[in-house]
Amino acid sequence: MFAKIDPANSTTFSCAGERLRKGELVAFPTETVYGLGAHALDAQAIEKIFVAKGRPKTDPLIVHVLSIIEALDLAVLDGAEHAAFEALATAFWPGPLTLVVRAQELIPKNVTAGGIFVGLRAPAHDVARELLRVSGVPIAAPSANRFGHVSPTTAQHVLNDLRASDVLIIDGGASQVGVESTVLKLMSVSDGVQLEILRPGFITQKDIETCLMKTAIQNATVVQKTMIVSQTEAQQSPGQLLTHYSPRLKCYLWDKTCSFENLSKQIDVSKSVLINFGKNFDAHAPLFFRTFNLSVNAKIDETSQNLFSLLREAEDVVGAEIIVLPNLELADEKWAAVYDRMFRAASGKILK
Ligand code: TXA
Ligand code: MG
């Protein structure tokens, strides 16, 4: 069978639940992006995810659960880790936070990429939650795109990438958040608990620190993992690769310091699609092959919701060869996740 989209109704849910229990693939919406799911405790089912995505076996998968209760069955936590885990999950679940913790033995090794840690997340989207309820199993799910491509925020994006695979895609409309969850690793160290942000997302470092303070979690420090710029460097979280979320066309970030004349010397503007932001480059927009806008009013929620779908629209513009994105200035930490995805879509190439 090839991929197909079905509406989110009771017939689809019971069929999807059955498929998951039988070891088959189901793609579903979450509030961040669409996931490509399989029964998290079935190693053979997990294998199908890697094949459908063309994903390297070194990249571990996030396991989706309904709540803290199901998560605790899959995690190994000491006292300090447990306190921090519970505080964070209570504050941010269901929602876009993945907690990476030591894994129980029952989790197959292909979920953890052979490691001892597993990423756990309770998604907020109604469709994802209903699927978890109906299937009755934890669901391992990476973003439902071909490996390295732009993440999907609609059912159609998933179909476009995974057309040739046997996967039932549940249509739940466009994802609200639009960029993937914050990935936070949680680990006891000699003087407390260390929390490491492996991937920036909607939940920021400040959100995490505020939560820890409010819940009186002592001796917890939050650090940001810096971006991996080399494909060959040892990877703690392979999603940190510089080139990721890549559209099929060459992609660049246009810095404010670079005049239009200077830009035109570096790329052929007449073959470029501009994905504008606010009114930044309005004056020159008509000179591009085609123009889109992430958010005319420069709003963060709109920008993050639109980014992946506009990258996909831009790469499909017939005759276009290049995509140009603004090199955003980060007003505050809320922008870090969006900027991170844009920077990687452009493989870090900034035109100055
Ligand atoms: O919002 C999301 O997180 C979406 C939805 C579907 O839940 N999922 C998602 O999955 O973005 P994926 O596989 O595309 O990205 C997961 C990221 C990768 O960077 C992976 O390396 C990291 O999380 N990750 C997962 N498990 C990990 C682990 N055990 N240790 C370190 N990093 C892990
Ligand atoms: Mg992904």
Q: Which ligand is nearest to the CA of 31?
A: 1
Q: Note the pLDDT tens digit of each residue in 268-321.
A: 999 999 999 999 888 999 999 999 999 999 999 999 999 999 999 999 999 999
pLDDT of residue 240: 61
What distance in angstroms lies between residue 345's CA and the mean position of ligand 1's atoms? 17
Distance (angstroms) between ligand 2 centre and the Cα of 265 equals 34
Please report the atom of ligand 1 found closest to the CA of residue 115: 29
Pocket test for ligand 1, best of 183, 236, 308 (most atoms within 8 A of CB): 183
Instruction: Please report the pLDDT score of residue 239 as a whole number.
Output: 58
Q: Over the stretch 96-148, which tens digit does the pLDDT of each residue have?
A: 999 999 999 999 999 999 999 999 999 999 999 999 999 999 999 999 999 99
Strand partners, 182: 97
Taking the centre of ligand 1 as the mean of its atom positions, its distance from the CA of residue 119, in whole angstroms, is: 7
Q: What is the DSSP code (8-state) at residue 246?
A: B
Ligand 1 atom at minimum distance from 201 CA:
1
Ligand 1 binding residues, C-beta < 6 A: 30, 32-33, 35, 59-62, 96, 98, 100, 112, 115, 117-119, 121, 123, 141-143, 180-181, 183, 198-199, 237-239
User: Which tens digit of pLDDT belongs to each residue from 49-99?
Assistant: 999 999 999 999 999 999 999 999 999 999 999 999 999 999 999 999 999
DSSP assignment of 91-142 equals HH-SSSEEEEEEEPTTS-TTTTTTSSEEEEE----HHHHHHHHHH-S-EE--
Banded pLDDT at 241 (limits 50, 70, 90) = low
Looking at ligand 1, which atom is closest to the CA of residue 199?
19
Output the residue whose Cα is nearest ligand 1's atom 10.
142
Is 60 exceeded by the pLDDT of residue 245?
yes
pLDDT tops 80 at residue 242: no
The span from the CA of 151 to the CA of 179, in Å, is 8
Q: Which helix (H) or strand (E) holds 196?
A: strand 192-199
* Phi and psi at residue 198, to the nearest 5°: -85, -25
pTM exceeds 0.85, yes or no:
yes
For the segment 242-261, the average pLDDT, to the nearest whole number, is 90
Check whether the bond before 94 is cis (ω within 30° of 0).
yes
Closest C-alpha residue for ligand 1 atom 13: 142
DSSP 258: S
Q: How confident is the model at residue 217 (pLDDT cuts 50, 70, 90)?
A: confident
Residue of higher predicted confidence among 73 and 219: 73
